[in-house]
Amino acid sequence: MINCDFHVHSTYCDGKNTLEEIAEAAVKKQMTALGFSGHSHTSFDESYCMSAESTEKYILNVKNLKLKYKDILPIYLGIEMDRFSDLDNLSRFDYVIGSVHYVKKDGCYLPVDESEEVFLKGIKEHYDGDIIGFCEDYFKEVCCLAEIDEVDIIGHIDLVTKFNEGGRLFDTADSRYVSAVDEALGRLAAKGKILEINTGAMSRGYRKTPYPEESILLKWQKLGGRIIFLGAAHSTDGLCFEFNEAEKLAKKCGFSSAVVVSGRAAKTVAKKVPGENFPLHWLNLS
C-alpha cells in the first residue's frame, strides 16, 4: 500500500487542520512522505484559496517544517494551481498540481465543484441547461494546463462528475463528453503530464470511486500516461484515504507503476506491494 500523499490542504486555504497538525498526523500514520498543496490565489474568488500574503507565509511555514521533520518525515512544498490563478514564479515549488475549478462563460467564472446547486445554476443561466456543453468547455480549460510547463500533475481531471454519482445528472458515455475527454487526454499525454487518482470526493462523501472514472484510466494507460495516488485531503482523516481501493482500480486498468514526489531530482526506486502482484516504481518528478 502506498503510504504517502502530496495533495493536502491546510488552514492556509480551505483545509480544517494546520500544517503542523497534518505533519503530526502523518508521522502517527507512519507515512513515508508528505506534500502540501495549498490552493493558489484566484482574484475573482478568494473564499477558498491563499492570498498573496498568506502564500508567502505558507511557503515559509512548509520550509520550516521540512527542517523540523527532516529526520522523521520527508516533507515537500507543493501548490495546487487553478487554471485561472494569478500565481507566478512556480519554480519555488517542489511540484505543481494543475486543476480547473471554474469555467469562464459570458465573462463569469462558474464554479465546478462548490455545490450541486451552484453547479446547476450556472449551467441553467449560461448554457440553457446543457450540462454536456459546460463539460466541453471544462475540458477545453483542462487542455490549457497541458501548455503550462511548470504543471507536473493534473488534478481531478473529471471534477465535473463530482455531483454525478450513478450518472444521475448526465451520461459520461455521451459522444460529446467522450470527445472532449479524449482531446484533453491526448493533449496531456503528449506533454508528459501525470494524472492523479484522487480519493478526495470519496473521503467527503460525494463519490464511491476515485477520480477519474475507469473509462478514462483505461484510455490513459493505453496512451502510456503516468499516474499518482493523491488524497486531496482537507483534514487529517483524508490523508491516503482508501489508497488500497485506488491501487486496485489502477491495477484493473493495466497500470504497473505509479509516481511519488521526491523533489525534482531524477531517481527511480522499485518497490513491490506486499501480497500483491503489482510492482510500483517510485518515480521522481523530473
φ/ψ of 7, rounded to 5, equals -115, 90
Least confident span in 209-213, 237-241, 252-256, 260-264: 260-264
Answer yes or no: are the C-beta atoms of 80 and 97 closer than 8 Å.
yes
pLDDT at 267 over 70: no
Give the dihedral of Cα atoms 26, 30, 35, 38; nearest 10 deg. -20
pLDDT at 278: 41
Cell of 204: 467527503
Nearest-5° Cα angle at 267, 262 to 269:
90
The residues facing 8 across adjacent strands are 233
7 close to 230: Cβ distance less than 8 angstroms: yes
Pairing of β 108-111 and β 102-105: antiparallel
pLDDT at 263: 63
Per-residue pLDDT band at 256 (split at 50, 70, 90)? confident
Residues recorded for the chain:
286
Q: What pLDDT is attached to residue 124? A: 98
What single DSSP character describes residue 160? G
> pTM for the full model?
0.92
Which residues of 40-126 form beta strands (DSSP E)? 75-82, 95-99, 102-105, 108-111
Mean per-residue pLDDT, 231-253: 95
266: Cβ–Cβ under 8 A, 6 or more apart, which residues? 284, 286
* Residue 281 bridge partners (DSSP): 270
